[in-house]
Homo-oligomer: A and B are copies of this chain.
Amino acid sequence: MEVQIAVAKVSKYAISESGDTLEVVERPNGGLSVVLADGQTSGRGAKAVSQLVVRRVIGLLAEGVRDGAAARAASDALFTEKHGKVISTLNIASVDLSSGTIVLTRNNPAPMFICRGETIDVIDEDSTPLGISRNVRPIITEIAIEAGLIIIIYTDGLSHAGKRRGLPMDVGAVIRSLLEDQDPTPQSLADSLLAQAVGLDEDRPADDISVVVLKVIPRVGDNVRRMSVRLPIEGVARLS
């Protein structure tokens, strides 16, 4: 099998820096983790918060700390530093090769989707962001790595898209229609979800938006790990 992960990420209109931070890091016992945080508000303040959270989480994961414990530690640190006045969402998606599972850690009111064939499950159990109080509990979902699995995670900019105009995005319905296509790649799923949201905001995103899609495919090809990154560098250019 092969795990494929795709990310598409855009910042709020006219703000050069996204308040969302996303990093992908190797796990010390094999596999990798995607860590995504969305700091409260937008711009530099939000960026500082989400960077703080992600940096702390990846530091702990690198030491072999379990995902849930890393989320709790990051929450306690944020609460201690900001006294509950600044919060951040957190999602961790870990491909854990030592257990053969995908471990999903969620401290984010925004739901996530787990799709297998025709079945689309929405994981929307109540979940609180980090830093809001002591003893914040992450929601942990652990599932076996199996071909055909698709997991979709996003920050709330996606579900808030279009609200300004009273046309909020029905993320589940969009996912269902995208999955009707013939075997979409994770990058095309992430790009299409993001494009739909940006379109609802009339090409001026009302918030930072990050979309992560993880897909497990039956193995085809070689044993090479690959990564690619695309970084537009004109700052606040208008989205087309």
Task: List B contacts of A105 (CB < 8 A).
Answer: none
Binding site for B on A (CB under 8 A): 1-11, 16-18, 21-26, 28, 30-32, 51, 55, 59, 62, 95, 97, 145, 186-187, 190-191, 194, 219, 221-234, 236-240
On whether the beta carbons of B2 and A230 are closer than 8 Å, the reply is yes
> Are A55 and B51 also in contact (CB < 8 A) when A32-B229, A225-B231 are?
no
On whether the beta carbons of B1 and A234 are closer than 8 Å, the reply is yes
- Tell me how many chains of this kind the complex includes: 2
A4, A17, A191, A227: residue with the most chain B Cβ atoms closer than 10 Å = A227
CB < 8 Å neighbour of A51 from B22, B62, B219, B238: B62
- Can you list 9 A-B pairs with a CB-CB distance of less than 8 A? A3-B229, A26-B51, A31-B233, A55-B62, A59-B59, A194-B224, A221-B240, A222-B232, A224-B230
On whether the beta carbons of A229 and B30 are closer than 8 Å, the reply is no
On whether the beta carbons of B227 and A24 are closer than 8 Å, the reply is yes
Question: A152 CB to closest chain B CB, in angstroms?
Answer: 15
